[in-house]
Amino acid sequence: MPNSRKKLIFMNVIDCHTHTEFSVDSDADIISCLRSAYEKNLRAYAITDHCECNWWFPREHYPDTELSEDFDFGDCFEKSVSAVTKLKEQYGEKLNILCGVEMGQPLHAPEIAEKIVTDKRLDMIIASVHQIRDEKDFYFINYRTMGADEIDSLLEKYFTEIYEVCKWGKFDVLGHLGYPVRYISASGISVNIDKFDDIIFESFRELAQNGKGIEINSSGIRQGVGHCFPSEKYVKMFRDLGGEIVSVGSDAHTPNDIGGDVEIAIKSAYGAGFENLCFFRDRKPVFLGIN
C-alpha cells in the first residue's frame, strides 16, 4: 500500500456505510476497497453490504412476487461477513476494519432480522427501509406517472415503517433517513418532507431514548440532491431530542467513492451540536472527537 496518504480537514474521518462485490448492486473488488480506505486515512472503515431481510431465500422461495429483482440475500450476507471477518484478521493492524451489514426491511421478515442481529461476527448494524410493504424498492418506482397525492401517500407509508423500525430498535444506527427523496428528486420532482416532521420527531425520540443512533449518509451530495440523508435540520432535531450517537457514511459502491463527501456529513454533525462521531466495534459504540 502506498505511503502518500490524503490530507484531511478533519482529524478523525470515518466511513461507516460502504458496499463491495458482495452487494448485488456493486462489483467493487474488496481488496481495492481496503486500499482506498487506507489511502484516505480513515480512522474507521465499515463494510456494510446489503442484506434485504425480506429476500433472504433463493428465488423459488417467493414464487408469486414481482417486487424484487434480487434474491438470496442469505448467501450474500454469509459471503460478505465471512470475507470481512478474514480481512479483519489479515489487515486489522493497518486499518480499523469493521464488519457491518446494511439490514433492509427488518420488520418484513423479523425472524431473519433476529438471525442477523444475533450474529456475533458483526461490529455494526445499519437498519434501512428501501421498500415499503407491497411495493418495489423506491429505486425502481416510476414517479413520473404519479400524482403528488400518490407520492405523498408512499412517503407517509415510508415514514410510518421507519417509525416501526425505530420502535423495534435492534440495530445500531438508522440508515439514510429520507431514502425515497433520492429517487423522487432524480425524476425531476421536487419533494418536501416537512409535513412528516411529527412522525420523524417520534422516530428520533425512540432512538434517542433507547441509546440508538442515526447515520448521516453523504450519498446525496454525490448524487446531486444537494444534501446528506438526513439533512442538517433533522440531524439537529435528533441532537435536540438528546441523541448522542451519530455516524457518517458515503454509501460507496465503488472503491473510488469510499470516504466521498463524508467531511460534509461530519460538518453537518458538528453544526447540529455533536462533538463526537461514533462507530461500533462488537456492537458497542466507540466515540471519536470531531477535531
Size of the site for Zn ion (CB under 5 A): 3
Question: Which residue, 229 or 270, has its beta carbon nearer to Zn ion?
Answer: 229
Q: Return the residues of window 172-211 that contact Zn ion according to CB under 5 A.
A: none
Tell whether residue 26 is a contact of Zn ion (CB under 5 A).
Answer: no
**99: Cα separation from own chain's centroid:** 14
Q: How far is the CB of 64 from Zn ion (least distance, A)?
A: 25
- Secondary structure (DSSP) of 115-178: HHHT-TT-SEEEEE-SS-TTS--GGG--GGGS-HHHHHHHHHHHHHHHHHHHHH--SSEE--TT
**What values do phi and psi take at 206, rounded to 5?**
-60, -50
Q: How far is the CB of 23 from Zn ion (least distance, A)?
A: 8
Question: Which residue, 15 or 251, has its beta carbon nearer to Zn ion?
Answer: 251
Q: How far is the CB of 47 from Zn ion (least distance, A)?
A: 11
Question: Which residue, 170 or 205, has its beta carbon nearer to Zn ion?
Answer: 170
Pairing of strands 276-281, 284-289: antiparallel
Per-residue string for binding with Zn ion, 214-253, x by CB under 5 A? -------------------------------------x--
Per-residue string for binding with Zn ion, 47-86, x by CB under 5 A? ----------------------------------------
Q: How far is the CB of 25 from Zn ion (least distance, A)?
A: 9
> Packing angle between helix 232-240 and helix 262-271, nearest 10 degrees?
40
Contact range with Zn ion by CB under 5 A, out of 4-12, 72-80, 94-102, 231-239: 94-102
Tell whether residue 23 is a contact of Zn ion (CB under 5 A).
Answer: no
Q: What is the largest CA-CA distance in the chain?
A: 55
Please choose, from the candidates 54, 106, 46, 101, the residue with its C-alpha nearest in 3D space to the C-alpha of residue 78: 101
CB count within 10 Å of CB 153 equals 12
Q: How far is the CB of 37 from Zn ion (least distance, A)?
A: 16
Question: Which residue, 123 or 251, has its beta carbon nearer to Zn ion?
Answer: 251
Give the gyration radius of the chain's Cα atoms. Answer: 18
Q: How far is the CB of 26 from Zn ion (least distance, A)?
A: 9
Taking the C-alpha atoms of residue 225 and residue 201, their distance in angstroms, rounded to an integer, is 23
Taking the C-alpha atoms of residue 15 and residue 95, their distance in angstroms, rounded to an integer, is 12
Here the cell at position 150 is 400518490
Which residues are CB-neighbours of 35 under 8 A, at least 6 positions away? 1, 255
Tell whether residue 102 is a contact of Zn ion (CB under 5 A).
Answer: yes
Per-residue string for binding with Zn ion, 110-129, x by CB under 5 A? ------------------x-
Question: Which residue, 20 or 268, has its beta carbon nearer to Zn ion?
Answer: 20
Residue ranges binding Zn ion (CB under 5 A): 102, 128, 251
